[in-house]
Chain A
């Protein structure tokens, strides 16, 4: 069943991030996808995440599609102007990619080419409007297309941002312009997430809660300092601190994730995993959280 049909039916969906390689060797990325495929409904392919140069998102999406799995194309506004964004969207559709996730994109200085030109010709709201235009058979300039797209477009939000109101207002506009699902930044504070979910209930679109399994206390601290929009509360860091071996850390991390899922599940429509190399913990988290992925 297609990802969009599952959302339409109100199924609880599981998505997982897939990172294109730093180079041309797509083997490990596809191997991770194959291993997780029994547990995941769609793979969300990052677009030069954290402004670090990698293979393009659409290329790995096309390869995932060729393997028989469903990709979600992440698109940021950082590197392409409105011409290039629309061109890639048309190409992605021709390659069988049916889902797009529109993001602003981190600033180039956060990545490994800090001297690059930041583009941001469109912002994420206007990118959603561009997808809606292509879906209607016209480009952003109003010209008719020979063959149109029918993308399912999603929006992102930092659900635990403080203060939340400006982010919520922007999200409302994204939904008005055509966003059909919402994926959140990593959630570590279920109470803050529930506050967001209640406030966003009226938007009438499914919300997929983001989850990054903690690998260590050090990783949590690093994210707090360096990853835009991610905040790990101190008690969780302390919990990770007590685990000594890698196996113990995986166990504690699995428990934390399952706990967060159980807390947010009544308020959302799915979970989006960002395992950062720890793909092997995903099945255990789902099992402990009592989530059956059924007929994936």
Chain B
């Protein structure tokens, strides 16, 4: 199971420009168990957005956001509402956010940080991967994770080894940052490209604090492993 925790409200609101309309997508799987997704997120995040001048133009609670096909079909039924949104706020793990980004050409904003994926047993049919870094940056990268799409995990654009869209590691491998650049161009948000981000807090990526080790969620993950 993937363990997620809600981002601070200031960070979520910081993604949005004044008056931007939002479509809310919430995962009813692991994120619901972590009290990040499900109907609760639709209520809490909806109230936060409406209360700060961001109209909520539609909502969807989807059982497994990590299943891209399922996400695509469910959201296509709500096409008009989705198209009326300036951005989609997604309450799920990093895979769910990337799955939504892969099917909707709009700014996709993560409402949560993914802190652990323990023994994940879910359906994961796409190329989307989450590094459970605990400090999700997908809002700035067009919904493509730079930590997993770029083998070096760079945060500010391609390295010198990126050429004609390919990574230096092996022929045919796409450069993650070229993909991010193209996605940001597609959604009209190139202003987000190569904006300075301070070094990541690696504790969130590599350390599991005692408080989580003693939690029920951590115990459940451990049970899944055995």
Contacts and interface: CB of A to CB of B under 8 A. Distances in A.
A166 B184 CA distance: 11
A165 B152 contact: no
Given A161-B162, A169-B194, A121 B199 contact: yes
Contact of A173 (B153, B161, B169, B194): B194
Contact of B161 (A106, A120, A170): A106
A148 interface: no
B163 A161 contact: yes
A185 interface: yes
Contacts of B159: 104, 124, 228
A260 B161 CA distance: 22
B176 to A, nearest CB: 11
B158 A166 contact: yes
A267 to B, nearest CB: 20
B155 A126 contact: yes
A89 interface: no
Interface residues of A, number: 38
Nearest to A122: B199
Interface residues of B, number: 28
B118 to A, nearest CB: 23
A276 interface: no
A229 B169 contact: no
Contacts of A104: 152, 154, 159-161
A123 B160 contact: no
A55 to B, nearest CB: 23
A162 B164 contact: yes
Contacts of B169: 107, 109-110
A221 B79 CA distance: 50
16 contacts: A107-B151, A107-B152, A107-B161, A109-B169, A122-B199, A124-B154, A124-B159, A125-B156, A126-B156, A161-B160, A163-B165, A166-B178, A170-B156, A176-B196, A228-B168, A229-B168
